[in-house]
Copies of this chain bind each other. A is one copy, B any other.
Amino acid sequence: MNKHKYENIAMILEDQIKGKVLLPGDKLPSLRRLCTDHDISQSTALSVYDLLQAGGYAESRDRSGYFVSRLSGRIAALPFSSQPAGKESAQNLDKLAEEIFSTAGTGHIKFSYGAPSSKLLPVARLNKELVKAARNLESGGTAYTETQGNEKLRRQVIRHAPHLGSLKPDDLITTSGCNNALALALMATTSPGDRVGVESPYYFGLSGLARSLGIKLVELPCHALTGPDLEMLECILQKRQLQAIIVVSNFSNPMGGLMPPANKEHLVKLIERFQIPLIEDDIYGDIYFGKQRPDTCKSYDSSGLVLLCSSFTKTIAPGYRVGWIAPGKFREKVLQLKLSFMVCSASLTEEAIAGFMETSYYQKHLKQLRQTLYANYLQYSDVIGRYFPEGTRLSQPQGGLFLWVEFDSEINTLQLFKQAIRLGISIAPGQLFTREKQFSNCMRLNFGLPWNPQLEQALKTIGHLAKMLGKTTNKLNN
C-alpha cells in the first residue's frame, strides 16, 4: 500500500528520533520550514506533526512550535478519538463519585483531587487580602451586596483577560465557583427533557447536575489533543438532537484536550447556525504551558449564544467558592436565577480575590504555578514512562491539571482504585467520566500536587499495581 506523503515525512523524522539524531526536548523543524523543505502545503505539514504526536514522538508547545517528546520511544501518546456509542452503562455515576471521594482520608495522596494542592496556592497573601477586605467593605462584609457580584472583582477579571475579547465588567455575574456558574447556565438555557452535548470523557460533576435538572447528557466524540470532533458534531446537530452543548475548551477535564483557535471559531459558527447555546467552561485556561494564554470560544461570539464560565478554583482558592459567568444574551435570566437561588454572593471572599488580583503578585503567582505544574507534568511523565506497564498510553496536555492514562484493555482501573486506596493512594478511574461502557482501562491523575519522594513513590506504586493487575488478568485469560 502506498503511503501518503505526510506519512513518509513523518517516518523520516521518527527514524531520526529513534536513532538519537534528534534528542528528547530538541526543537523540530517549523511548519514553514517543513513546507519549504518538502514542497508540501501547510495542512500536510500539520498532518506530519499530528502523526508524530499521536505516536508519542513529538509534542507541541503553544506558539513555540514542535519538540521531540521527552517520552519518545518509551510511552505512546493517546492517538485516538473517543467514540461514544450512545449506549448507557447501568452504573450510578454519582454513587461512584461519592465512593471514590469519600474514601480518600486526609492523609491520602490524592491523585484523584480536582484542584491544585494548597501548597501551590498564595495562602498567606490571601489571608492579608481577607483582612483588608473586612476593613474596606461597607459594614465589614456583613451586608447584602448586589446580586451581580463585586464590581472590583468583575473589573479585575476583564483587566487580566485579553482573551475575553470585548467583554466589559457589566457582562459578568459572579457565582459560587465554576460548578455554580455551569448550573446557572444550564438552568438558563435548558428545560427538563432537553439533551445536552458534552465531551466524552466528561467532567463527572455534570452528571448529578443534569439529573437534578432532568436533562440528558449526550457524549460527543472527542480527539485527545483537540477536543470535540466538529464534523461528527455537525452531523448530530443536523439531526436536531441537542438543545445545548457544554465544552471545556482549554485543557479539558479529564483528557486535557486544547481546542485550536480555528476549531473554536468553527464551533461558534456551528452553534450560531443551529441557534443553540454553547456553555464554555474555561476553568483551566490560565494554566497554559505555552507562551500565550489560549483564547476562548466566547471571543468569537457575536450572537450572545456563548455562556462562558470560570472560577478561581484551579488557580487561587478552591475553598473560597468564587467564580463567574459571562452569560451573553442570557444575562437577565442568569441574574434572576442567582437572585432566586442565593440572593447574592458572599462579599468577603470576592473582595479578597479582587484585592489579590489588583497586586502584581497575581501574575507572578500564575506564572509560578504554571512553571510548577509543567515541571510536575514532566516528572509524572518520566516516572510513568519508566514504571507503568508496557502499552500504557498517556495524554500530552498543554496545560491544566490532569494526565489521562490509558492502560491495555485488561487492566481495570476501578480494581486499581480499590487496591491503591488501601495503600493510602487515590486515583480517579476512567468510568467516572462517562455514562457509557468505556474508559474502564483509563484513569485521571492530578499533577497539581507538590513533587516529593513520597509522591514519586506513590506513582511507582500505581505502576506496580497496574502491572500486577495486568498479569493476573492475563493468567486468568490463558
- Which B residues are CB-close (under 8 A) to A94? 336
Q: Is the CB of A337 within 8 A of B212?
A: yes
* In the complex, A463 has a CB within 8 A of chain B: no
Q: Mark A180-196, 1 if CB is under 8 A from B, else 0.
A: 10010001000010000
Q: Is the CB of B142 within 8 A of A336?
A: no
* In the complex, A330 has a CB within 8 A of chain B: no
Q: Mark A58-79, 1 if CB is under 8 A from B, else 0.
A: 0000000000000000000000
Q: Is the CB of A208 within 8 A of B342?
A: no
Stretch at the interface among A28-36, A123-131, A259-267: A123-131
Q: Is the CB of A176 within 8 A of B342?
A: yes
Q: Is the CB of A142 within 8 A of B317?
A: yes
Interface size of A as a range: 35 or more
Q: Is the CB of B318 within 8 A of A144?
A: yes
Q: Is the CB of A176 within 8 A of B179?
A: no
Q: Is the CB of A319 within 8 A of B348?
A: yes
* In the complex, A118 has a CB within 8 A of chain B: yes
CB distance from A175 to the nearest CB of B (A): 9
Given A176-B342, A348-B349; A142-B118 close (CB under 8 Å): yes
Selected contact of A340 from candidates B138, B139, B141, B179, CB within 8 Å: B179
| Given A192-B192, A319-B344, A320-B348, 19 further pairs, Cβ under 8 A | A94-B336, A118-B138, A123-B142, A124-B140, A130-B130, A142-B319, A143-B319, A144-B319, A177-B342, A180-B341, A205-B340, A208-B339, A208-B340, A212-B341, A319-B347, A321-B346, A341-B341, A346-B349, A349-B349
Give 19 A-B contacts (CB < 8 Å), ordered by A residue.
A118-B143, A123-B140, A126-B142, A127-B131, A142-B319, A143-B318, A144-B319, A176-B346, A179-B341, A179-B342, A179-B343, A180-B342, A192-B214, A208-B339, A212-B337, A321-B345, A321-B346, A341-B341, A346-B346
Chain A to chain B: the 4 pairs with minimum beta-carbon distance, closest first: A118-B139, A208-B340, A142-B317, A123-B140
A contact set with B: CB distance below 8 Å = 94, 114-115, 118, 121, 123-124, 126-127, 130-131, 134-135, 137-145, 176-177, 179-180, 183, 187, 192, 205, 208-209, 211-212, 214, 316-322, 336-337, 339-349
